[in-house]
Amino acid sequence: MTIDELKKHIDQEFENVDRIMNELFFLYKPEKTEYTLAEQAAVAAFIVNIYSGAERILKQMLLFDRLDVQDSPEWHEKVLRKSSEIGILPPELFQVLSNYLSFRNYFIYHYIFNIKWENLKALTDAVNDVISKFRSEVTEYLQTI
């Protein structure tokens, strides 16, 4: 993969993330106090999609750098950890994205009615800022390669 191919892949992923974020904020309004279970499930799925997009970006960057992130039971954690170790993610953003990964894992293995709305709301309220910081860090790192 060339650097131009990597950048194109990352741009496409960010376009997908932006599209999902638009859908998320069409449904989710911070001032709204009650959501149906179906609406909560949609919000949760959008958050998981957004995190997965960030994860795909990191994985491609690590593969470009020829770092081993092949599929294994712990590859999701490995992608975040290696991204932090080589300087793509600063420690604070690593920690924040780790929270999104934890939510992703919880979402996959639990019923939606077991997800605490206040936890999902906190992730949703922060996601714009998180993706903005993530985009900035990715852009900055790409300038170094």
Q: Is 56 helix (H, G, I), strand (E, B) or coil?
A: helix
Q: Cα–Cα distances in Å, from 24 out to 5, 61, 121, 125, 136? A: 29, 26, 12, 11, 21
Output the pLDDT for position 69. 72
Q: Across the chain, what does the average pLDDT equal? A: 94
pLDDT value at 70 more than 80:
no
What's the mean pLDDT in 119-145? 96
Q: Judge whether residue 72 has pLDDT over 70.
A: no
Residue type, 134: F
CATH 1.20.120.580 fits domain 3-142: yes
| Domains in the chain: boundaries | 3-142
pLDDT digits (tens, 9 = 90+) for 105-117: 999 999 999 999 9
